[in-house]
Amino acid sequence: MSGRQHKETEIARRIRAKGLAAQRTSAQIADEIHEACSAHFSTTRIKSHRLAHGIALADVIEQVRALFERDSKPTPGIGETLLSAYESGLKRPGPEYLHYLCTVYRVEPAALGYDGPCICGNSHRATPKLAEQVLERPALPAERERLHPSVESVPDAEEDENILRRTLLNLLRADTAFSQQLDGPILGACEGIRRRMDETLVAATVSAAMLDQWEEATISFGRQYTTTAPLRLLCDVLLELSAVRTAMSRRQPIDLQERLCRMAAQLSGLSGMILINLGDHRLARSFFRTGRTAADETGDRALRAWICARESLVPLYFGDAREALNLAKKSRDLAGSTPCPAQAMAPVVEARALAMLSGGESKKEVVDQAKRALARARSAFSHMKTEDQEDVAFGYTERQLYFYQGDVLTKLGQTIEAEVVLDQALTKYEDHILDQTLIRLDQAQCRLIDGDVKEAVVIGTRALSLVSDEHLTELIVRPAMALEQAIMASDPNAPGLDAYRAELRRSRRPQLKGGGA
Asked if residues 31 and 49 have their Cβ atoms less than 8 Å apart, the reply is no
Asked if residues 238 and 193 have their Cβ atoms less than 8 Å apart, the reply is yes
Task: Please report the pLDDT score of residue 125 as a whole number.
Answer: 72
User: Tens of pLDDT along 63-91?
Assistant: 999 988 888 888 888 888 888 888 888 78
Position 36 pLDDT exceeds 50: yes
User: CA-CA distance, 325 to 29, in Å (whole number)?
Assistant: 50
Kindly indicate the confidence band of residue 227, based on its pLDDT and cuts at 50, 70 and 90.
confident
| Structure-model confidence comparison of residues 484 and 515, the more confident one | 484
Asked if residues 381 and 390 have their Cβ atoms less than 8 Å apart, the reply is no
| Structure-model confidence comparison of residues 198 and 306, the more confident one | 306
C-alpha triplet 83, 165, 293: angle, nearest 5°: 85
User: CA-CA distance, 188 to 194, in Å (whole number)?
Assistant: 10
User: CA-CA distance, 343 to 313, in Å (whole number)?
Assistant: 15
102 SS3 class: helix
- Average pLDDT on 118-131 reads 61
Asked if residues 400 and 392 have their Cβ atoms less than 8 Å apart, the reply is yes
Q: Select from 422, 400, 402, 418 the least CA-distant residue to 410.
A: 418
What kind and span of H or E run contains 80?
helix 80-88
pLDDT, averaged across the chain: 82
Indicate yes or no: pTM above 0.85. no
Residue type, 53: H
User: Of 59-68, 165-174, 351-360, 502-511, which one has max mean pLDDT?
Assistant: 59-68
**Helices (H), ranges, 358-471:** 364-382, 386-389, 398-411, 415-428, 433-449, 453-465
- Average pLDDT on 2-25 reads 84
Angle between helices 45-53 and 4-21 (to 10 degrees): 60
What kind and span of H or E run contains 148?
none
Q: Where are the beta strands (DSSP E) in 260-394?
A: none
**Helices (H), ranges, 249-320:** 254-278, 281-298, 301-311, 313-317
